[in-house]
Amino acid sequence: MAGNLIIPSFSLHSSLAAWIQLISSSFLDKSSSSHHNYRNSKGSTDFCVRNIDHAAFGRREIEIAEQEMPGLMALKKRAAADKPLLGAKIIGCTHITAQTAVLIETLVALGASVRWAACNIYSTQNEVAAALAEGGYPIFAWKGENEEDFWWSIDKCINNEHWQPNMILDDGGDATHLMLKKYPAMFSSIKGIVEESVTGVHRLYQLSKSKKLTVPAMNVNDSVTKTKFDNLYSCRESILDALKRTTDVMFGGKQVLICGYGEVGKGCAQALKGMGCVVMVTEIDPICALQACMDGFRVVKLNEVVRQIDILITCTGNKNVVTREHLDRLKNGCIVCNMGHSNTEIDVGSLRTQELTWEKVRSQVDHIIWPDGKRIVLLAEGRLVNLSCSSVPSFVVSITASTQALALIELYNAPAGRYKDDVYLLPKKMDEYVASLHLPTFDAHLTELTDEQAKYLGLNKAGPFKPNYYRY
């Protein structure tokens, strides 16, 4: 049996055995002592949040997020009369933030009913969860859940005698996997799964490969709008925010080295150049290196500039890009941080030796001091610096969330046979639609193809405008 299990991404589950124990043990059937029994103003107790009294504060947070989520708000307005999700019963397992609340309320306005849990034990905004609970949505989430709470909350969403889910919106795959393992009959009646994260998508492909995926699933992680906006544009802004909040550094004239000139590296390089930094780049790929040259950046090896740089940022998705040897040679005061997914890009472990002193100077900021007095400034211990030290703009989340909503609508309404039990990318036309929902914010006016032009290019005037292989 163990051989068939797929280990969840959830970081606390360090071993397969621990996970098996977690989902098979009886604790899922009973309330943990840390659960709070509140009643909202309409008398409902079908939720579990930290403190329902903070609902008004959470409602304000949601209203602020709505201002910067034009795609979702437009979708809500355009489709509310059609109710394309009428009858959809969606299990949600995502970060519970003000932006997610806007998504939840949009899905409900489109006709769905939902039950929602957190996909991460730390990221829930308690006041937002309270506002949703007060609004009558069954939310099971609070910041600082333990492992038992985490699985209990997802289980409370799935297992309800008056409500049988038919769709899953997942971020990381934990709701999908709990249902598959514990409620296989319910799982087979699901109409579709929408998955947002790299890890969750990876797990879906594994299920598909081993023929255990018995429902169609949509991979929204790899839709163009998500990749471009999350990786390039969001990082372009959040790298500056993260560096400023943690170090108050003056950017002008600083020598910055960016390792990796992919989407994330391009965003960081552009932003820092704009602030007057002298930006250099390292690359392994000649195409990306040439792009960096054409964009006006010097392409160097880390070894060549290691003694002169003021800020070092890794964005490669690789490991051991910055080693102890490099760190030993950095100049006094150099700021070191990582924008890539994993915390292995900088060999932070190699800094935990006796001769080096660690001094925590702020939250997420450590000074590492060498015996000769040299110090470097390490941010977020080498974890994703923007997610650890700054916030993600609601506008970017609006794009991803609109993609998720459209994926749910597509899977829920697709005629039998359009999707088999496999993992799909969102149709390009929908990606284009998500982008178009965000254009009015900028008063952007699209040019329409003439009949003659459409014929010449072999396109439908309403799109899609690019083939699937087009790289934006």
Ligand X SMILES: NC(=O)c1ccc[n+]([C@@H]2O[C@H](COP(=O)([O-])OP(=O)(O)OC[C@H]3O[C@@H](n4cnc5c(N)ncnc54)[C@H](O)[C@@H]3O)[C@@H](O)[C@H]2O)c1
Indicate the annotated binding residues for substrate: 97, 171, 196, 226, 230
DSSP designation for 384: B
Q: How far is the CB of 198 from ligand X (least distance, A)?
A: 6
Distance CA 84, CA 106 (A): 11
Q: How far is the CB of 101 from ligand X (least distance, A)?
A: 21
Q: Are 90 and 60 in contact (CB under 8 A)?
A: no
For ligand X, the closer of residues 138 and 265 by Cβ is: 265
DSSP designation for 276: T
Q: How far is the CB of 28 from ligand X (least distance, A)?
A: 32
- 459, two tokens: 């396109």
196 binds ligand X (CB under 6 A): no
Q: Specify the residue for token string 């969606």.
A: 90
Distance CA 148, CA 31 (A): 9
464 binds ligand X (CB under 6 A): no
364 binds ligand X (CB under 6 A): no
Q: How far is the CB of 238 from ligand X (least distance, A)?
A: 6
Which residues 6+ apart lie within 8 Å of 107 measured at CB?
85, 88, 90, 114, 405, 408
288 binds ligand X (CB under 6 A): yes
Q: Are 431 and 424 in contact (CB under 8 A)?
A: no
Among positions 245-284, residues that touch ligand X (CB under 6 A) are 259-265, 282-284
Number of residues that bind ligand X (CB under 6 A): 27
For ligand X, the closer of residues 158 and 321 by Cβ is: 321
386 binds ligand X (CB under 6 A): yes
In terms of Cα–Cα distance, which of 456, 408, 449, 455 is closest to 430? Answer: 408
For ligand X, the closer of residues 126 and 386 by Cβ is: 386
In terms of Cα–Cα distance, which of 138, 143, 166 is closest to 154? Answer: 138
172 binds ligand X (CB under 6 A): no
Distance CA 96, CA 119 (A): 8
235 binds ligand X (CB under 6 A): yes
Q: Which of 315, 348, 397, 401 binds ligand X (CB under 6 A)?
A: 315
Q: How far is the CB of 401 from ligand X (least distance, A)?
A: 16
Q: How far is the CB of 165 from ligand X (least distance, A)?
A: 30
For ligand X, the closer of residues 317 and 464 by Cβ is: 317
Q: How far is the CB of 391 from ligand X (least distance, A)?
A: 11
For ligand X, the closer of residues 306 and 384 by Cβ is: 384
Q: Which residues pair with 93 in a beta bridge?
A: 117, 170
From 44-52, 56-64, 94-102, 226-234, give the range in contact with ligand X by CB under 6 A. 226-234
Q: Which of 34, 44, 123, 318 binds ligand X (CB under 6 A)?
A: 318
For ligand X, the closer of residues 131 and 399 by Cβ is: 399
Output Rg (C-alpha) for the chain, integer angstroms: 24
Distance CA 311, CA 316 (A): 16
387 binds ligand X (CB under 6 A): yes
380 binds ligand X (CB under 6 A): no
Distance CA 265, CA 251 (A): 17
Which residues 6+ apart lie within 8 Å of 449 measured at CB?
457, 459, 461
Q: Which of 271, 339, 365, 376 binds ligand X (CB under 6 A)?
A: 339
Q: How far is the CB of 386 from ligand X (least distance, A)?
A: 5
**Strand (E) or helix (H) holding 56:** helix 55-67
DSSP designation for 342: S
Which residues of the shown chain bind ligand X in the complex (CB under 6 A)?
A: 230-231, 234-235, 259-265, 282-285, 288, 315-318, 321, 339-341, 384, 386-387
